[in-house]
A and B are shown apart, each in its own frame.
Chain A
Amino acid sequence: MEDPSIKVSNISHSYGNVKALDDISFGVSRGELFGFIGPDGAGKTTLFHILATLLLPEKGTASVEGLDVVKDFKKIRKILGYMPGRFSLYMDLSVEENLWFYATIFGTTVEENYDQIREIYSQIEPFRKRRAGKLSGGMKQKLALCCALIHKPAILFLDEPTTGVDAVSRMEFWEMLRRLKESNITILVSTPYMDEASLCDRVALIQDGKIMKISTPAEVVSEYPNELWSVESKDIYRLLQDLQVYPGVKSVHAFGHAAHLACEKEALPANLLREYLACKGHEEIGISRIQPNIEDCFMELMINK
């Protein structure tokens, strides 16, 4: 990768005895939508704090747009759009006051850069007199994004922007990010929701401070080594237990109303499994072969770590 927008080399950071980041390296090219996928406590926020110059890394170096996060932190802060995990809005200020404030402290005006946020802001503009504290989760998220974008940053850090937001708003939000990408902003986004991973250009799967895999979502899925089945039954809890002990099964996870069962390729004749489950007294059994999604891949990577 030549002239990457973000470059992280061998970064480690710990809080006391807890290692939040363990020797992490990766690069993000300009204009890329890069996703950090991992559960809570994986180290995502720590990484964002380091890249946003809010935290000094214990070991390793990182640069944003060629600027060192330790030495050139003042310059980075000028070109950075940052949306922290808790939205960082003033709940007692109205929608337009929040926007005005962030525009002002970044040395610009709402009018000047209105183009940048028009599409997003138009959705919340009818509520511009409303206090931010009285907005729904989805609207807060849109307002926070507007505030992060108002000074036309070259690079955008979004730390769990979709946490605590309903499914429809989440999808809308990702749609907005896809469109933002067209204006060649580098976007680094973290999320605990695996289903959002497929919307990124590339993803890093992160767990316990380590990156397990960096790849495009399609590649991650195509490298899945197992055969995957979705098994349903009335009693999901007992189903999980029964599947666990079935010969040839590598792993079983609950996934919504079904169990996802991974096994070696060609190792599982479906009719035998159905008989086995019927013997165990399961009702309304459904078995079907499925394609793995990112979450399945994540689970597989976690087991093999």
Chain B
Amino acid sequence: MRRFAGFVIKEFYHIFRDYRTLLILFGMPAVQLLLFGYVITNEIKDARIAILDPSKDEVTRRITEKILSSGYFILEKNLSSYNEIGPAFREGKTTLVLVFGKNFAEKLGREGKADIQILGDASDPNTANILVNYASGIINNYLISINIEQVPLKIIPEVRMQYNPELKGVYMFVPGIMAMLLMLISALMTSLSITREKELGTMELLLVSPLRPIQIIVGKVIPYVALAFIDACIILGMGKFVFGVPIQGSIILLLAESILYISVALSLGILISSITSSQQVAMTLSLVALMLPTILLSGFIFPIENMPWILQWFCQIMPPKYFIIIIKSIMLKGNGLTYIWKETGILVLFTLAFILLSVKKFKIRLA
């Protein structure tokens, strides 16, 4: 036991001596969260809009007002003819053009319908799509409001977005970043620290020493469990206090699940290091084999349901996927273990499988 304790203390020396890595370890979650939270966002504010309004009557003015006061749009310029639409887009600032038909109010009053055209700058298709939706939504709302007195029968769906009423992107990024960072720190750092010993030749002496393989493995893992756990707390804390992401469910359950996920990632890191012998290979393997799938195939950014079936099948073996489901469920819906026991069980299975494999693969000799 004293041997083992000595080994763990040595690992902590390594970590604290390498303060550059330490800085990255603790700085990264904060920076990533701020980046994802503020920079990469699907919500669009203050889009530049140009309006071509040949009617200039009360209705078109009211619609224009509604759109400009929504907070999503800023008036870039008023256009006076169709020919100006092209140049307005080409200048690059305008992302949306609104064209009213002639005699708008009069036509609406007489025929019960009027023409309005929304043109989006689809050189950026996502933004264009969102802006067009915003604009048509505003117009529809307006039409409903003036129709209320005229049409007696109608169905007005009242939409409520459950668990994230404001559709905030951060609600999605906090769990995603947590899954990504914990995987990165745990898997990358352990695989590096084991392969470093192989590269330096110190592994030779560790092997010759009476330390058992399991002691070496667990000794390597413990410090990183602690570090990754601190990171998890930083992410959750920032999510709650900076971005206002709620934690509806039990915080203890949430932290326990985090530790479980950290164990999955760590055992994966050990597995990587037991099949590689250089830091470079371990790093590449961790980054390529873990980071990209974690971002792309975990449902963090891209919905799994839309993928080709072969990728969907592949997603099922991504541990981050289950962790993201678990934390979203606890944080946003306030669910307890009864709702997420299946995902939890899968993570436990992953951990056991990886550890078993690595202990089996761990070489008590050099070749």
Contact of A105 among B3, B17, B200 (CB under 8 A): B3
Judge whether A93 is part of the interface by a CB distance below 8 angstroms.
yes
Judge whether B107 is part of the interface by a CB distance below 8 angstroms.
no
Which B residues are CB-close (under 8 A) to A54? 204, 207-208, 365-366
Which A residues are CB-close (under 8 A) to B366? 49, 54-55
Take A77-B209, A82-B208 as given contacts and tell me if A90 and B365 are in contact as well, using a CB distance cutoff of 8 Å. Answer: no
Which B residues are CB-close (under 8 A) to A74? 210
Judge whether A291 is part of the interface by a CB distance below 8 angstroms.
no
Judge whether A52 is part of the interface by a CB distance below 8 angstroms.
yes
> How far apart are B135's CB and chain A's nearest CB, in angstroms?
60
348-367 of chain B: CB within 8 A of chain A: 364-367
Judge whether B87 is part of the interface by a CB distance below 8 angstroms.
no
Cβ of B367 and Cβ of A55 under 8 Å apart? Answer: yes
Judge whether B134 is part of the interface by a CB distance below 8 angstroms.
no
Binary B-proximity of A29-56 (CB < 8 A = 1, otherwise 0)? 0000000000000000000010011111
Judge whether A107 is part of the interface by a CB distance below 8 angstroms.
yes
Cβ of B208 and Cβ of A52 under 8 Å apart? Answer: yes
Which B residues are CB-close (under 8 A) to A80? 208
> How far apart are A277's CB and chain B's nearest CB, in angstroms?
49
Which B residues are CB-close (under 8 A) to A100? 6
How far, in whole Å, are A49 and B201 apart by their CA atoms in the complex? 12
Which B residues are CB-close (under 8 A) to A104? 2-3, 5-7
Judge whether B211 is part of the interface by a CB distance below 8 angstroms.
yes
Residue on A with the closest CB to B201? A86
Which A residues are CB-close (under 8 A) to B367? 55-56
Binary B-proximity of A49-82 (CB < 8 A = 1, otherwise 0)? 1001111100000000000000001100110101
Q: How many residues of A contact B (CB 8 A)?
A: 31
Binary A-proximity of B216-259 (CB < 8 A = 1, otherwise 0)? 00000000000000000000000000000000000000000000
Contact size range, B: 20 to 34
Take A93-B13, A104-B2 as given contacts and tell me if A87 and B201 are in contact as well, using a CB distance cutoff of 8 Å. Answer: yes
Output the residue of A54, A77, A87 with the most chain B CB within 10 A: A54
Chain B binding surface, main DSSP class: helix
Take A92-B18, A104-B6, A105-B6 as given contacts and tell me if A53 and B208 are in contact as well, using a CB distance cutoff of 8 Å. Answer: yes
Cβ of B204 and Cβ of A105 under 8 Å apart? Answer: no
Cβ of A105 and Cβ of B211 under 8 Å apart? Answer: yes
Judge whether B117 is part of the interface by a CB distance below 8 angstroms.
no
Judge whether B260 is part of the interface by a CB distance below 8 angstroms.
no
Residue on B with the closest CB to A54? B366
Residue on A with the closest CB to B4? A105
1-44 of chain B: CB within 8 A of chain A: 2-3, 5-7, 10, 13-14, 17-18
Judge whether A27 is part of the interface by a CB distance below 8 angstroms.
no
How far, in whole Å, are A36 and B201 apart by their CA atoms in the complex? 21
Which A residues are CB-close (under 8 A) to B119? none
Which A residues are CB-close (under 8 A) to B209? 77, 102, 105-106
> How far apart are A206's CB and chain B's nearest CB, in angstroms?
20
Name A's B-contacting residues (CB within 8 A). Answer: 49, 52-56, 73-74, 77-78, 80, 82, 84-93, 97, 100-102, 104-107, 147
Given A86-B201, A105-B210, 18 extra CB contacts under 8 A: A52-B204, A54-B204, A54-B208, A54-B365, A55-B365, A85-B201, A87-B201, A88-B200, A88-B202, A90-B14, A97-B13, A100-B6, A105-B3, A105-B206, A105-B209, A106-B3, A106-B209, A107-B2
Name B's A-contacting residues (CB within 8 A). Answer: 2-3, 5-7, 10, 13-14, 17-18, 200-202, 204-211, 364-367
| Contact sample, A vs B, 16 pairs, CB 8 Å cutoff | A49-B366, A55-B366, A56-B365, A74-B210, A77-B209, A80-B208, A84-B201, A88-B200, A88-B205, A90-B202, A101-B7, A101-B10, A104-B5, A104-B7, A105-B7, A105-B210
